[in-house]
Structure 1
Amino acid sequence: MDYTVMMPAAGSGQRMGAGYNKLFLQLDHKPIIIHTLLVFEGDPACKGIILAVKPDERQEIQSMLDRFEISKIKVIVDGGTERQYSVAACIEAHAENGIVLVHDAARPFLKRSVIADLVQKATEFGAAIAAVQPKDTMKTATDGVVEETVDREKLWIIQTPQAFKYEVLKAASELAARDGFLGTDESMLVERLGHPVQIVESTYENVKMTTQEDLAFGEIILKRQLEDFV
């Protein structure tokens, strides 16, 4: 089943502390964003990628795309000050039915099996998100005092991709814009429609490169992946 990817890549990455866009940081001699794009570049089911970037980084990103022969970029749009605005720009640039995936450009270790499961669920139910369950005991607390221990079987750590029928995501985005509502992810906007969102179990390796510790973890994942091919 075919899909199109919408990839917001206009964030600041302040928590990485690199002094520039964290997506340009190198893992095994490739920028993080290129590792992420290559997952979809090599997937026959991916029809194309819509990329949202900072206007002043457009030229540098285009140079990376050319250097690493990324051919599935359909269009590059100007990203906004918030992730939600970047995704809205991608939605506006797409304007065709089918399944769309929204994916963080800083998650380069996504499994294609997870993509396939998401596309299947979104085709059937209209909305599906990747997630993993927490490994540790979870508690709620106020002012540093524990209130209760939460049943972690009911908790999920949400990742991307998040997959939707295009018309569902578009309606959710337009409603949020009309209401002036800013969500933390796309599924939150879809939930406001009253539309059910399915969970697809992902992997713990599908980590977002946010801090220096994540980069170190990324190097370990890459090394293990290379060893698996030997």
Structure 2
Amino acid sequence: MERYQHGICVAHVATGQNVTAWVQSRDPVGNDLPYPVIAYASPDSPRRRKLRQLQSLAAERFRNRDFTFVSHHASVSSSLVPLLHRIPHVVHFHGPWADEAAIEGAPRWKTFLQRRAERKAYHSADRIITLSTAFAQLIVERYGVSLDVVRVVPGAIDAAAADPGISRTEARQRLGWPTDRPILISIRRLVKRVGIDVLIEATRQLVARHPDLLVLIGGTGPLQGELA
């Protein structure tokens, strides 16, 4: 289960809400979480099949009207939005989905369908959550969404859970990193749209000013071979 979705679920459980997570999973889902999880499809299945299975689950559950609100992303909106006539729903905007797909080389017919799905999702949403004011401005200007429905919720971590209880020097020693150099690290999916090439170009300028700077890039994705 993705950390972002898990964090949302845990936070709602902490406020006393009944939460159910719908996920894709290759294996049977256990019951070791503080909320029930339903696996509606395998991530290895064709996209159309996954969306049909999600729509089937949604139709069954929404028929009972046992949801206060539904939280989702534009990528699955084609399965959910038609069923959400009377159920408030929140859409998470992490960037222009179709534009990012175009950068990765997606065919025009695919980005056309993605843009159509995005607009339907955003214009039907009761609330839209973005990670930054820049994305809030983007979704208003690019998709014509009213600013009144947009809320900025910056990314964050559970600082207590992320604290290993050791010093920075000891952490670097355990990782085999130098303890006497400034380090810049980027951990994310290695795809064109995230701008790893911009970071590498900027590094040339940074090293000119800070010769001892160490830049570390981590992650998985299509660019992994090029960066190795």
Greater helix proportion: 2
Greater strand proportion: 1
TM-score (structure 1 length as normaliser): 0.32
Whichever of the two has the greater Rg, that structure is 2
TM-score (structure 2 length as normaliser): 0.32
